[in-house]
């Protein structure tokens, strides 16, 4: 399992269409991959941070700096993912940066042992139901055409991004057009305040699975108050940054559903711990997405195959976001994506595709 070097790969990939949320519109992703090079195997991790600190305080260039200066120095030739997590606990915050290194270490050590990430985490399924996240649209007809296309493609659940001024009417139109049987939920990305509770209560008669992160991430008291005032289940995303924050949110009554994003909570080991807590407390969970390419998507599918993931996640097919993924594409089949069964994350970058996307590569020796 001996590691010799780490390679930081910076790349760029265009999205097939602009993706608009309450905090902005994305047309491309600035990518950061970490490749760990060992005597017997490699390991890959993908950073989920955005180019700007708008979803969270982390951003991709900052993550690279933290990885170089504070995290990679904690990785020795025989460091395991578990040892790394313990060693970097004095580094405050930066879960997305930590998650990249942890993922690459997990991938490397599991490949060396011939064990899949899904098996290591405790997966109970070989495929997971797939939902799709639909960005904010300028018009209702345009939104309906987009949703219809995703339903034709076979997605089992639709998530609509919302913000003040683009919410109740659009959601109502989708429900009216596609019927009560459609699994439908909304995501506000913290765009509302507790004073908007009466407005958000208008969603209650639309039979939604949940409303995701309606209020700012640090307003757990507001979420608890909102949960008492609306019938639609409240799900937390940005507020869930650790096992402790998840436990606190559940005990406060701030949510009845949790979206687990490994990058947001510091990695797949922390994500599994949050899953275990929610399973024990009877809180449904699902796996969110951060526009990952195939490297991050492969690992997310392994996580989403755990028993507590009872709701379809944002584990969409590769062609939802990219004309050509960096790995072999994930393809939707009967509304599901297959969980990789190979060693580690079960996917590797296509060298030619990665080379065409790459902006720079830097090698860091591991001593």
Q: What is the pLDDT of residues 334-362, one digit of tens each?
A: 999 999 999 999 999 999 999 999 999 99
- 287 within a domain of the structure (yes/no): yes
- The number of helix segments (H) and strand segments (E) in the chain equals 13, 13
**10, 261, 264, 347: which one is catalytic?**
261
**Which neighbouring-strand residues pair with 313?**
130
In the residue annotation, 161 being an active-site residue is answered as yes
Count other Cβ atoms within 10 Å, centred on residue 251: 11
Q: Residue 141: how many CB atoms within 10 A of its CB?
A: 10
Q: Are 249 and 274 spatial neighbours (Cβ–Cβ below 8 Å)?
A: no
Give the pLDDT score at 24. 85
DSSP code string of 37-82: EESS-EEEEE----SSTTSSS--HHHHHHHIIIIIGGG--TT--HH
Set 20, 94, 157, 161: catalytic member: 161
**CATH number for position 88:** 3.30.390.10
Is 53 among the domain residues? yes
Q: How far is CA 306 from CA 106, 248, 336, in A?
A: 17, 22, 15
For residue 199, the enclosing domain spans: 119-338
Backbone phi, psi, residue 158, to 5°: -110, 130
Which residue's structure tokens are 């509304």?
Answer: 335
Instruction: Look at residue 291 in the predicted model and tell me its pLDDT.
Output: 95
Q: Report, as an integer, the average pLDDT of 276-284.
A: 98
Q: Note whether 108 and 135 are same-domain residues.
A: no
| Residues sharing a CB contact under 8 Å with residue 329, sequence separation 6 or more, in sequence order | 294, 317, 318, 319
Tens digits of residue pLDDT in 21-59:
988 899 999 999 999 999 989 999 999 999 999 999 999
Is 138 contained in some domain? yes
Rounded CA separation 286/347 (Å): 22
Please report whether residue 343 resides in a domain. Answer: no
The Cα 31–Cα 297 span in angstroms is 14
Whether residues 59 and 100 share a domain: the answer is yes
Residues 145 and 131 in one domain: yes
Q: What percent of the chain has pLDDT over 70?
A: 100
Q: Are residues 200 and 259 in the same domain?
A: yes
Q: Are residues 358 and 256 in the same domain?
A: no
Residues 136 and 26 reside in one and the same domain: no
- Asked if 181 and 227 sit in the same domain, the reply is yes
Q: Are residues 213 and 321 in the same domain?
A: yes
Both 7 and 123 in a single domain?
no
Kind of pairing between the strands at 336-338 and 127-129? antiparallel
Contacts of 221 (CB under 8 A, 6+ apart): 252, 254
Domains identified in the chain, total number: 2
Average pLDDT of the chain, as a whole number: 97
- From CA 248, how far away is CA 240, in angstroms rounded? 9
Nearest CA to 60 among 46, 69, 47, 73? 47
Tell whether 206 and 272 lie within a shared domain: yes
Q: Are residues 58 and 137 in the same domain?
A: no
pTM > 0.85: yes
Cα 357 to the center of its chain, rounded Å: 22
Is pLDDT of 1 > 80?
no
Residue 199 is assigned to a structural domain of this protein: yes
- The pLDDT tens digits for 292-312 are 999 999 999 999 999 999 999
- Both tokens assigned to 149: 């296309």
Domain co-membership, 173 together with 307: yes
Q: What's the confidence (pLDDT) of residue 306?
A: 98
Read off the CATH number of the domain in which 334 is found: 3.20.20.120
């Amino acid at each position: 399992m001996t590691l010799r070097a780490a390679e930081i790969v910076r790349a760029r990939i265009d999205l097939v269409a602009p993706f608009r949320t309450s905090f902005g519109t994305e047309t491309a992703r600035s990518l950061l991959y970490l490749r760990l090079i060992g005597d017997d195997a490699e390991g890959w991790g993908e950073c989920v941070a955005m180019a700007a600190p708008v979803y969270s305080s982390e951003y991709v260039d900052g993550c690279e700096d933290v990885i170089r200066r504070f995290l990679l120095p904690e990785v020795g030739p025989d460091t395991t993912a578990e040892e790394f997590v313990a060693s970097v606990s004095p580094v405050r915050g930066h879960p997305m940066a930590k998650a990249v290194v942890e993922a690459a270490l997990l991938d490397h050590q599991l490949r060396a042992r011939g064990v899949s990430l899904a098996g290591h985490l405790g997966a109970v399924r070989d495929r997971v139901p797939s939902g799709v996240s639909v960005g904010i649209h300028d018009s209702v007809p345009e939104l309906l055409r987009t949703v219809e296309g995703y339903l034709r493609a076979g997605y089992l659940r639709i998530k609509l991004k919302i913000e003040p001024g683009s919410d109740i009417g659009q959601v109502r139109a989708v429900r009216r057009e596609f019927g009560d049987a459609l699994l439908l939920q909304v995501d506000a990305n913290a765009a509302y305040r507790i004073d908007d509770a009466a407005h958000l209560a208008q969603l209650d008669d639309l039979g939604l699975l949940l409303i995701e992160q309606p209020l700012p991430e640090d307003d757990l008291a507001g979420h608890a108050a909102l949960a008492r005032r609306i019938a639609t289940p409240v799900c937390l995303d940005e507020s869930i940054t650790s096992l402790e924050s998840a436990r606190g949110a559940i005990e406060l009554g701030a949510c009845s559903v949790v979206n687990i994003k490994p990058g947001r909570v510091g990695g797949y080991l922390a994500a599994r711990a949050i899953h275990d807590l929610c399973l024990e407390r009877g809180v449904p969970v699902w796996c969110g997405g951060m526009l990952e390419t195939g490297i991050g998507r492969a690992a997310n599918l392994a996580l989403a195959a755990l028993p507590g993931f009872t709701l379809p996640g944002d584990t969409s097919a590769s062609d939802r976001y990219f004309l050509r993924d960096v790995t072999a594409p994930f393809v939707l089949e009967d509304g599901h994506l297959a969980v990789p069964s190979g060693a580690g994350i079960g996917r590797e970058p296509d060298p030619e595709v990665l080379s065409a996307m790459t902006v720079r590569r830097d090698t860091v020796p591991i001593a």
